[in-house]
Chain A
Amino acid sequence: MFDYHALAPELILGVTLLAVLAVDLVLPDRLKYLAGVTALVGMVAAVFPLLTMAFCDSIAGCVDGGTRSMFGGSYVVDDFALVLKALFLVSGVVSLLLSVGYLESDDYYQGEFYFLILASVTGAVVMASARDLITIFIGLELVSAPAFLLAGWRKGDLRGNEASLKFFLTGVLATAVMLFGMSLVYGLTGEITFAGIASQSAALDLGPEPAFVMGVVFVLIGFAFKVSAVPFHFWAPDTYQGAPIPVAAYLSVGSKAAGFVGLLVICYQAFAAVPEVWGPILWILAAASMTVGNLGALKQTNIVRLLGYSSIAHGGFILVPFAMAASYDSVGLSDAFFGSITYLLIYAFMNLGAFAVVIVGAAKAKSGEIADWAGMARYAPATAGLLAMFFFALAGIPPLAGWFAKFVMFRSVIGVFESGWAIAIAVIAAVNAVIALYYYARIVKSVYMDDVPIAVPQAEAAAIRTAPSLVLAIAITAAVVVVVGFFPQVLAFFGEAARGF
């Protein structure tokens, strides 16, 4: 019998997609937010089958299939996939909460917005389980294509147009390069499932074959574009700045995490036999992303753009454990998965929270320029306090969650691998952690210590009320950031699940 339980999250999301379109069609303009509520309910509902699958043992009548493999191994639901699907759904829920209040202040097509963001989350959920070239390609396109449109949401805004076109052209170019690589990999191995590619490339000893190396490199370049790893990062800060802030929040967390998942799965499953090809590439990507991202962030004057560069740098940190794992045994590999996935989970909450506070602050100061945010603590103490909290969390200051992410990242490199290259990348990461603290602390200092610019009407700004959905989003992310900081074992439990990959 077909395992509908394993496919339930995707089915629920698919039905919700149609429901959002239908609800949007029949509602009058002032009730359009109900389309957002429908999307929200769908995403929350899709979490339940994940929970029943994860805790199948303790539920009466649940058939525990362990790792659920479908469609001839093309679609696999294991613990790793469950954790990541939950991450994508939660980041989708938070992004929707951010956008509900934000969109109502504009007069735009709300229903379509919710539909597109839900479609993108569905793509990410599919990617977590994809174990063949076609499925992962469709999943990646389903993540990206709605995101191109979301980035250009403000149709009359020239910056929004530019953000959208830059994102689209680089995204499609990356897809074309990746597909060319996939076609070469298929041609040389004759397989499209990851397991088949791995066994064939080992059996035929394709490691030294130039065409196969080219295919692997092209596939990596495609994914590097999606996760905005240096030197394929140029679109990211531009797109984040031009897009509506909730979309930038989603792109920097949901869509980026989907890219990472694709990259890691394809490296460790499909190309498991040729780690000598992609291992050094990941090392360079990690080192370059950290350094260029942080140095770029130093001189930014726009806060969203700064978060764009900081997310590039965090992408580098996420890749650090993998940069060395290629040349190591299965113990090191499981530690690397633990380090990267834990970092990814914590980063998602910190960054969504930071973007949520930026939305509040930008509404109060009527500007995204850091200079206009000076002295915000005088007229909006709560916003300033939360800003300080999320930025220090991103910088990795205990007791906020960021320290644990950095800790597991360093531990999985230094503790496991004994080579010069491991020490080198750990030193690069440590230097970058210090650089990052400088630009995060600079903003917090400005918000607390500098004088308020004359142009900012303080009394008016203090009176601006924050939408309840935004407050809820901030509450969720702040709670996670604080609780995980004090009790890291809560999240480490989810990271452990990824070890079984």
Chain B
Amino acid sequence: MIVNQFLVLAALLFSIGIYGVLVRRNAVLVLLSIELMLTAVNINLVAFGQYLQDALVSGQVFALFVITVAAAEVGIGLAIVILIFRNRSSANVDELDLLKW
């Protein structure tokens, strides 16, 4: 089994995620970009787990933990974004400038 194509895919997804975090202005899209990065992690973990023929399937187990924690974090994140949208009628991260320096 060749592992390279999976690693390239994961690296691309991770880079797209980083780009989205830096460029997107809407908090929900920033959140989704971070999800892309976590998906890249999962692809990496499962690909390595399969490639290494790990007897303990650590990679796949790790991926399951990542999926669970990511779901919980998106729940927290969306709660915070909804809170901000209610208070300011906008989810634009550039407008959050009350606290600086």
Contact = CB atoms under 8 A, between A and B. Distances in A.
Contact of B66 (A159, A179, A237, A299): A179
Interface in A456-472: none
22 contacts: A134-B58, A141-B69, A141-B73, A149-B79, A156-B87, A159-B98, A161-B88, A169-B27, A169-B77, A172-B31, A172-B77, A176-B34, A180-B41, A182-B41, A182-B62, A183-B10, A183-B48, A186-B62, A187-B44, A187-B51, A190-B52, A242-B98
Contact of B99 (A145, A162, A172): A162
A176 B41 contact: yes
Interface string A290-303: 00000000010000
A390 interface: no
Contact of B58 (A155, A161, A192): A192
B98 A180 contact: no
Interface string A71-115: 000000000000000000000000000000000000000000000
B91 to A, nearest CB: 9
A63 interface: no
Contacts of B96: 161-162, 165-166
Chain A interface helix/strand/loop/mixed: helix
A458 B74 CA distance: 47
A241 B54 contact: no
Given A176-B38, A183-B44, A183-B45, A169 B51 contact: no
A137 interface: yes
Interface string A227-239: 0000000000110
A351 interface: no
B73 A158 contact: no
Interface string A146-170: 0011001001101101111110110
Interface of B: 3, 7, 10, 14, 17, 21, 27, 30-31, 34, 37-38, 40-41, 44-45, 47-48, 51-52, 54, 58-59, 61-62, 65-66, 69, 72-73, 76-77, 79-81, 83-84, 87-88, 93, 96, 98-101
A168 B27 CA distance: 11
A360 interface: no
Output the residue of A156, A163, A173, A176 with the most chain B CB within 10 A: A176
B41 A183 contact: yes
Interface in A121-149: 133-134, 137-138, 141, 145, 148-149
Contacts of A172: 31, 34, 73, 77
A187 B37 contact: no
A299 B101 CA distance: 9
Contacts of A141: 69, 72-73
Nearest to A185: B48
Nearest to A157: B87
Contact of B80 (A168, A175, A190, A237): A168
B59 to A, nearest CB: 6
